Amino acid sequence: MSEIAEKNFQVPNLTRGLQILEYLRHCDEPVSMSALARELDYPLNSVMRIMKALDHYGYVQRAVGSKSYEMSDKLMHLARSQASQKNLFEASMGAMRQIRDHVGETVVLSIVSEGEGLILEQVQGLHAFRFVCEPGTRQMIHSSASTKAILAFRKEHEVDELLQRIDYPKLTEQTILSAEAMKRELEQVREQGYALDRAEALEGVNCVAVPIMDSSREARAAITVTGPANRLKLDQLDEVGEMMKVVCSQVSENLGYL
């Protein structure tokens, strides 16, 4: 790339922010903003604005009893999360295909993120008319089989706090409408080992979800099969759930669950 073209793609404050992080990464002790400006030959006002943003988003932190800054461990956690997510994908894909081949319907891998369900991946069903659940799709906590499956096997006090914070809009006649009803539902999920969505988010759509556990002995994700109620019928959901528990147990074992 030519020097002119390279300059056209640069964002000055972003470049400075990244270079500040690189500098701090090699420092054994916290560094003041004036020292950063001097060492990197940046205007002090620019350094102050950048450090305020980095501090706000948790990438740097002030040293105790000082006005100097050091790297936080956020980047390390992000790197670990990325590696952890890759392991989750690798462990889950075979089970998802196996479930899809057995049931014929679309199967998705989901997590709970920022108070919502989040679809990470899908294996599309075998029917000509099938559900497509694009990665990145968000799901409401109170109406999704996957979020129920995950929350049922998370720390109780954290789940209680979340259930008190979220809203409960009515999506269908079957939608759960209160924290108390959700708690009762999660207790049933813990007893049977799988969660159901009986047309609670969309009319005519049923889902079954099984938690994916890891070495923390908490649910890290969920694998869900979703299909139209005329194919994935209410009287079949428990049978599908039991089958999925067997298949998904291997995924949990591969992630360190004992």
- pLDDT, tens digit, for every residue of 169-221? 999 999 999 999 999 999 999 999 999 999 999 999 999 999 999 888 999 99
CATH number of 3-72: 1.10.10.10
**Cα–Cα distance measured from residue 117 to residue 82, given in angstroms and rounded to the nearest whole number:** 18
CB 194 within 8 A of CB 218: no
Topology annotation, domain 80-254: Beta-Lactamase (3.30.450)
**Cα–Cα distance measured from residue 223 to residue 92, given in angstroms and rounded to the nearest whole number:** 8
- Residue intervals of the chain classified under CATH 3.30.450.40 are 80-254
Residue 54: both structure tokens together: 């980095």
- Residue intervals of the chain classified under CATH 1.10.10.10 are 3-72
pTM over 0.85: no
**Averaged pLDDT of the chain:** 90
Residue 33: both structure tokens together: 């903003």
